[in-house]
Structure 1
Amino acid sequence: MSHAVTILAVPRHYPLDVAIPEHVLTRHPAYRVTVCRDAAGLETADTVIVPGYDEPHRPVPGELLDGLRHAYRRGARIVAVCTGVFAVADAGLLDGRQATTHWRYASQLRELHPRVTVLENRLLHTDGTILTSAGATGGIDVCLAMIRDDFGAHAADAAAKEVVFTLVRGPDEPQFTDAPAGDRASLRATREWVIDRLAEPITVDAMARASHLSRRTFIRRFTQESGMPPMRWVILQRLYAARRLLETSDWPVERVAGASGFGTAANLRAVFRRELGVTPSAHRTTAETAR
């Protein structure tokens, strides 16, 4: 399956925000990545990526906004990196939606576009077919999220390994944390400890002990760093693990459920329906079709 990705190099764009998606996405053979500077380049794109740009309060050319609107109306996915969200908002595509951006520009986005619900300090966010993300390395996160959605968790793992990046970060994680560096390092080690033991029973108390912190302190620091409560994070990691197993093995659903920590096939099916809106078997079929 071929997927056309067009990076719209808007005026005053940050070169890094163009280079990162071009570098990451071309590592997957199904993506055809091009860079354009005018609306004509958007006409056949399956995904349009708008990189961040300087002075986002200044409007981009109207023809580019028209191109974004047209691409969205015909079903293209729109991805904004960093301040690229301002162009998407200027096109009216974010009215009534949630979005994120680099923390430095969140207040400005809210002021200029009051009809957009701006999520503070969020790594990336998906609202329908529009993805918004933080800047700099947040561009890598959004590319990996695209690969995971298009071709599965296993493909995203491979892409992350290729660019020497970790998939431990989730979309709800903050862009930054005010916790001391030592605390962040210890909780990173704890998260890796959990990932190595997903098939085993995992409790908040066990995670706190592994972090050498009291339960209360652990919950506070973990939520501050990851953007979600500890057990919510564990469920998502188990979900990622189950997705990978469904995509890369012929194991029955019951075995996948046990290996990923859900225990039973019924529990796994319930989580899949709640989080992804599909059954494990349907996810496996979709992943096989994508390959």
Structure 2
Amino acid sequence: MPSRDDRTVVAILAVPRVYALDVGIAANVFGRHPGYRVSVYGDHGLDAADASSGDPSDMTPDRARHVDVAADIRPTRSLADLRYADIVVVPGYENPHLPIPGEYLEALRNSVGRGARVVAICTGVFALAAGGVLKGKSVTTHWRHTGELRSMYPEIDVVENRLFVEDGAILTSAGAGAGMDACLHVIQSDFGTAVADDVAKDVVYPAVRGANEPQYTDTLTPTRASLRATREWVIENIGSSITVQRMADHSLLSRRTFIRRFVSETGMPPMHWVARQRVLGARRLLEDSDWSVERIAGATGFGTAANFRTVFRRETGVTPSAYRKAHGAVDAA
């Protein structure tokens, strides 16, 4: 049965051999926001009484907090109920080269076919690949499994060393930490940056990282080479004129060395990263303030309102006014 209210139904698909930690991550993150109704779905170990009673997505924040990640996962909703889900989360599972029961793959195909949003954590992407819904898609997974995924499914574009990849309605992520980022990214898309920040704070996790950030950095790079302090300095001074040379000077590195290390740490060129931070700051102000577009443009370093509108639309796909209408708590003065 569908949800009896306007909340988004999140179905966590407990495939055989599922990692309980990945189930707990999705339940905990989505369960923190009242806009979602979360349950675990599957046909193995299902309690018939639970499956036939109550609302189909009934995991409250308190229940989500107490998912026992050391115990076997027991679904409370059947695969048949998956047809009502708005978001389907496929957690990682052991031995992804082994087959998944056909009924699970069919349920995934049906979910994708009707337009549900699908989030695969870690090796969960193998279930989507086995279901035949990733042909021609760009995806990622934990770095230990990228080669295996590419070998088993050469028709899929496997992206190396990225936290998560979004291709249409399908979002795939690396390991458990990247699964947190993927879930927060969905919340950010649904309810805005400020809400996602609040959820991240509630689960004691950094604000959602960008999809292009690497899963890992070169372990031979010395700790002193970390550019975190420079990135924090940029964010603190986001309204001022930021150039690659200013960032290199702050990091006490040559321009060439700075650019190389910055790309290694963030997965993108310095000024592209700066533009992302400016857009992120602007999103927060559009959501939480009644500042005019001109004032936000100045505060976030875009300079003119025209430049702000151009860059914001390029990065988000919508105009600042449309974004504020969708996510803002107050109207512009």
**TM-score scaled by length of structure 1:** 0.96
Give unmatched runs, 5+ long, in structure 1.
none
Does 2:30 align with 1:25? yes
CA distance in 1, matches of 2:267, 2:208: 13
- 1:107 paired residue number: 147
- 1:182 paired residue number: 223
Report the residue type matching 2:28 in the other structure.
H
Identify if the C-alpha distance between structure 1 residues 155 and 168 changes in structure 2 by more than 3 Å, giving closer, same or farther.
closer
Does 2:180 align with 1:140? yes
Does 2:81 align with 1:41? yes
Question: Superposition pairs for residues 193-212 of structure 1, below 5 Å?
Answer: 193-212=233-252
CA distance in 1, matches of 2:129, 2:308: 37
State the Cα RMSD in Å: 1.3
Identity over aligned residues, as a percent?
A: 59
CA distance in 2, matches of 1:189, 1:167: 17
Does 2:99 align with 1:59? yes
Bigger CA radius of gyration: 2
Identify if the C-alpha distance between structure 1 residues 168 and 230 changes in structure 2 by more than 3 Å, giving closer, same or farther.
farther
- 2:68 paired residue number: none
**1:261 Cα deviation after fit:** 1.2
Question: Superposition pairs for residues 1-291 of structure 1, below 5 Å?
Answer: 1-38=6-43, 39-167=79-207, 169-179=209-219, 180-183=221-224, 186-288=226-328
Report the residue type matching 2:37 in the other structure.
R
Is the 2:200–2:208 contact (alpha carbons within 8 Å) kept by the matching residues of 1? no
Give unmatched runs, 5+ long, in structure 2.
1-5, 44-78
Report the residue type matching 1:182 in the other structure.
T
Report the residue type matching 1:203 in the other structure.
T
**TM-score scaled by length of structure 2:** 0.84
CA distance in 1, matches of 2:81, 2:101: 15
SS in 2 for 1:244: helix
Question: Which segment is superposed worse, 269-278 or 27-36?
Answer: 269-278
**1:41 Cα deviation after fit:** 3.4
Q: Whose helix proportion is higher, 1 or 2?
A: 1
Report the residue type matching 1:16 in the other structure.
L
CA distance in 1, matches of 2:253, 2:107: 52
SS in 1 for 2:10: strand
State the Cα deviation string for residues 230-274 of structure 1 (Å, max 9, x = none): 110000011111111101111111111111111111011101221
Paired residue total: 288
CA distance in 1, matches of 2:128, 2:302: 39
State the Cα deviation string for residues 87-107 of structure 1 (Å, max 9, x = none): 011111110010000000001
CA distance in 2, matches of 1:169, 1:20: 16
Question: Which segment is superposed worse, 137-146 or 205-214?
Answer: 205-214
Is the 2:184–2:208 contact (alpha carbons within 8 Å) kept by the matching residues of 1? no
SS in 2 for 1:137: helix
Is the 2:181–2:208 contact (alpha carbons within 8 Å) kept by the matching residues of 1? no
